[in-house]
């Protein structure tokens, strides 16, 4: 009989877990919708600003427009110091979402280390930060609590330091790594070299004329455009990552709920078998008792 | 007829995307018009209004608070921080969007003069149309 109770207890426990996972799935589905719209809206702007910058980079490198000498567009073949900014979630229970980003960052780090390049990390999101801390890898800066509620101001704050170091010459390259939203069921890891800005391979500008900048007396325009570019890319990484996090969690929780259902079915079968067995044993006992009384 | 591809995007999404005849932009150095075949240019924009002449000759007005414009021979891309398209079928809708535009311009109140000029312009365009 104790066996029966044991199984019953297990069924109850699995069912409770299932309730939690189902609720978490529903929450993620609702949040995903909001995050997805935000990401989709911002994607247009992010794409456009990247396009504009690519074209400027292309023109600067092709024609040396107006003698602009900016570190932002100076592509270096052998960077000596690299900043990696990565975005993970604050929370787990979302399948391989965080691990993918962490693995990509580790791979990048090893790649650069083998080339004797100094790598510094800037982390957003508790999961990634905890991982690297556990591995005794130092992080230059940490931001927790941003991943779940990204704002433009936060993005500005995060990227400002990295860009300042780049402008001062303390670093030669800044890479942004995040796991982005592809569709409801899949995520896409994005590794984006934000500075120096380089036009995509095979980039051909339709326009062949020289480019003038206005106002031209100083480089204010380029500076303000670059600032916008960094901040927006950072902001986009944050919201894209949030949408991806919710889609990953939704999927993980859906799997968990299904697994729980399977487990309950299996346990129920075991429970019924055990119950039948107990009845059979009891019957045999009664019959043999009656037989012996004859 | 030669046309320009005009795209206006803000962090909140795309405001405008179509082929147009010409467009007038509020550059930080002063207003400038762009016709097809304009030389490549990247310009800073200040709070003001973008006056668009559509293919059918009608005008459309979009108020922006701050941004950048990238111009080349056959396309204009405006990256604005905030933009409000002034459009609508009825007078109340127009009044509503005018109010939104004014708020947007005021949120960037680093230059009262520019705002006053821009609001006056918006109003005159709106009045001339209705």
Q: Over chain A, what is the mean pLDDT? A: 87
Contacts of A45 in chain B (CB under 8 A): 9-11, 13, 79
Q: Do A185 and A56 share a structural domain?
A: yes
Q: Do A188 and A131 share a structural domain?
A: yes
Q: Is residue A164 part of a domain?
A: yes
Q: What mean pLDDT comes out for the span A143-171?
A: 88
A129 min Cα distance to partner chain B (Å)? 29
* Confidence at residue A18, expressed as pLDDT on a 0 to 100 scale: 95
Highest mean pLDDT among A73-77, A138-142, B57-61 belongs to: A138-142
Rounded Cα distance, A28 and B99, in Å? 37
B60 min Cα distance to partner chain A (Å)? 21
Q: What mean pLDDT comes out for the span A110-136?
A: 91
What CATH number does the domain containing A130 carry?
Answer: 3.40.1380.10
Could you report the per-residue pLDDT of A51-85, keeping only the tens digit for each?
Answer: 888 888 877 777 665 555 567 777 777 788 899 99
Contacts of B107 in chain A (CB under 8 A): none
Q: Do A257 and A247 share a structural domain?
A: no
User: SS3 sequence, A136-171?
Assistant: CCCEEEEECCCCCCCCHHHHHHHHHHHHHHHHHCCC
A210 and B40 within 8 Å at the Cβ level: the answer is yes
Rg of chain A in Å (alpha carbons): 28
Q: Do A56 and A8 share a structural domain?
A: no
> Closest residue of A to B82, CA-based?
A45
Those residues of chain A whose CB sits closer than 8 Å to some CB in chain B are 41-42, 44-45, 48-49, 51-52, 55-56, 59, 152, 205-207, 209-215, 220-222, 224-225, 228, 232, 235
Highest mean pLDDT among A123-132, B49-58, B76-85, B103-112 belongs to: A123-132
Could you report the per-residue pLDDT of A197-241, keeping only the tens digit for each?
Answer: 877 766 666 666 677 777 776 667 778 888 888 989 999 999 999
pLDDT at A7 over 90: yes
More confident residue, B109 or A231: A231
What CATH number does the domain containing A284 carry?
Answer: 1.10.287.80
Best residue of A38, A41, A44 to probe chain B, by most B CBs closer than 10 Å: A44
A214 and B27 within 8 Å at the Cβ level: the answer is yes
Q: Do A264 and A246 share a structural domain?
A: no
Q: Do A49 and A195 share a structural domain?
A: yes
pLDDT at A126 over 90: yes
Determine what percent of chain A is predicted with pLDDT higher than 90: 46
Q: Do A97 and A11 share a structural domain?
A: no
Domains belonging to chain B, first-starting first, are: 1-130 (2.60.15.10)
User: Could you tell me which residues are beta bridge partners of residue A280?
Assistant: none
Rounded Cα distance, A212 and A108, in Å? 37
Q: Is residue A33 part of a domain?
A: no
> Which residue among A44, A152, A211 places its CB closest to the CB of B42?
A211
Q: Is residue A289 part of a domain?
A: yes
Query: B48 pLDDT band (50/70/90 cuts)?
Result: confident
Contacts of A217 in chain B (CB under 8 A): none
CB B75 within 8 A of CB A48: no
CB A91 within 8 A of CB A126: yes
Q: Is residue A225 part of a domain?
A: yes
Beta strand extents in chain A (DSSP E only): 81-87, 118-124, 139-143, 173-183, 186-195, 212-214
CB B110 within 8 A of CB B123: no
The total number of structural domains in chain A stands at: 2
pLDDT at A89 over 90: yes
* Confidence at residue A289, expressed as pLDDT on a 0 to 100 scale: 94
Q: Do A184 and A121 share a structural domain?
A: yes
pLDDT at B104 over 80: no
* Confidence at residue B28, expressed as pLDDT on a 0 to 100 scale: 83
Q: Is residue A25 part of a domain?
A: no
Best residue of B9, B34, B36 to probe chain A, by most A CBs closer than 10 Å: B9
Q: Do A109 and A11 share a structural domain?
A: no
Q: Do A150 and A49 share a structural domain?
A: yes
> Which residue among A214, A225, A232 places its CB closest to the CB of B41?
A214
Q: Do A275 and A240 share a structural domain?
A: no
B39 and A215 within 8 Å at the Cβ level: the answer is no
pLDDT at A32 over 60: yes
> Closest residue of A to B44, CA-based?
A221
> Closest residue of B to A231, CA-based?
B11
Q: What mean pLDDT comes out for the span A78-102?
A: 90
What residue numbers bound the domain in which A54 lies? Answer: 38-251
Q: Is residue A88 part of a domain?
A: yes
Could you report the per-residue pLDDT of A241-254, keeping only the tens digit for each?
Answer: 999 999 999 999 99
**How many Å from the N-terminal Cα to the C-terminal Cα in chain B?**
28
Q: Is residue A28 part of a domain?
A: no
Query: B81 pLDDT band (50/70/90 cuts)?
Result: confident
Rounded Cα distance, A247 and A149, in Å? 16
* Confidence at residue A246, expressed as pLDDT on a 0 to 100 scale: 93
- The angle at the Cα of A95, spanning A91 to A101, to the nearest 5 degrees, equals 75
Q: Do A259 and A238 share a structural domain?
A: no
Q: Is residue A186 part of a domain?
A: yes
């Amino acid at each position: 009989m104790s066996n029966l109770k044991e199984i019953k207890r297990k069924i109850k426990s699995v069912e409770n877990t299932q309730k939690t996972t189902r609720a978490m799935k529903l929450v993620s589905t609702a949040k995903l919708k909001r995050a997805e719209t935000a990401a989709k809206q911002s994607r247009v702007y992010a794409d456009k600003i990247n396009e504009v910058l690519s074209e400027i980079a292309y023109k600067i490198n092709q024609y040396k427009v107006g003698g602009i000498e900016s570190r932002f567009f100076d592509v270096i073949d052998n960077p000596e110091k690299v900043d990696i900014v990565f975005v993970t979630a604050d929370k787990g229970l979302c399948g391989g979402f965080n691990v993918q980003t962490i693995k990509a960052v580790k791979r990048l780090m090893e790649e650069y280390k083998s080339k004797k390049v100094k790598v510094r990390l800037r982390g957003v999101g508790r999961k990634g930060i905890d991982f690297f801390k556990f591995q005794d890898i130092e992080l230059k800066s940490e931001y927790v609590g941003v991943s779940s509620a990204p704002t433009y101001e936060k993005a500005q704050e995060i990227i400002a330091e990295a860009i300042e170091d780049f402008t001062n010459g303390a670093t030669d390259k800044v890479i942004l790594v995040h796991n982005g939203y592809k569709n409801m069921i899949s995520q896409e890891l994005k590794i984006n070299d934000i500075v120096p800005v380089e036009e995509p391979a095979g980039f051909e500008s339709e326009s062949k004329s020289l480019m003038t900048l206005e106002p031209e007396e100083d480089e204010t325009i380029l500076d303000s455009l670059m600032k916008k570019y960094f901040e927006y890319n950072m902001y986009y990484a944050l919201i894209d990552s949030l949408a991806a996090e919710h889609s990953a969690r939704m999927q993980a929780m859906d799997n968990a709920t299904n697994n729980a259902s399977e487990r309950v079915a299996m346990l129920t079968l075991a429970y019924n078998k055990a119950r039948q067995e107990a009845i059979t044993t009891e019957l045999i006992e009664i019959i043999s008792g009656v037989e012996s009384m004859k | 007829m030669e046309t320009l591809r005009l795209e206006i995007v803000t962090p909140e999404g795309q405001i405008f995307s179509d082929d147009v005849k010409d467009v007038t932009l509020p550059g930080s150095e002063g207003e400038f018009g762009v016709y097809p075949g304009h030389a490549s240019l990247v310009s800073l924009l200040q709070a003001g209004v973008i006056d668009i002449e559509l293919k059918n000759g009608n005008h459309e007005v979009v108020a922006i608070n701050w941004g950048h414009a990238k111009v080349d021979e056959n396309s204009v891309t405006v990256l604005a921080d905030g933009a409000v398209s002034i459009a609508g079928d009825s007078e109340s809708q127009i009044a509503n969007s005018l109010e939104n535009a004014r708020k947007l311009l005021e949120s960037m109140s680093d230059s009262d003069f520019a705002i006053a000029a821009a609001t006056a312009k918006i109003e005159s365009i709106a009045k001339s149309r209705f």
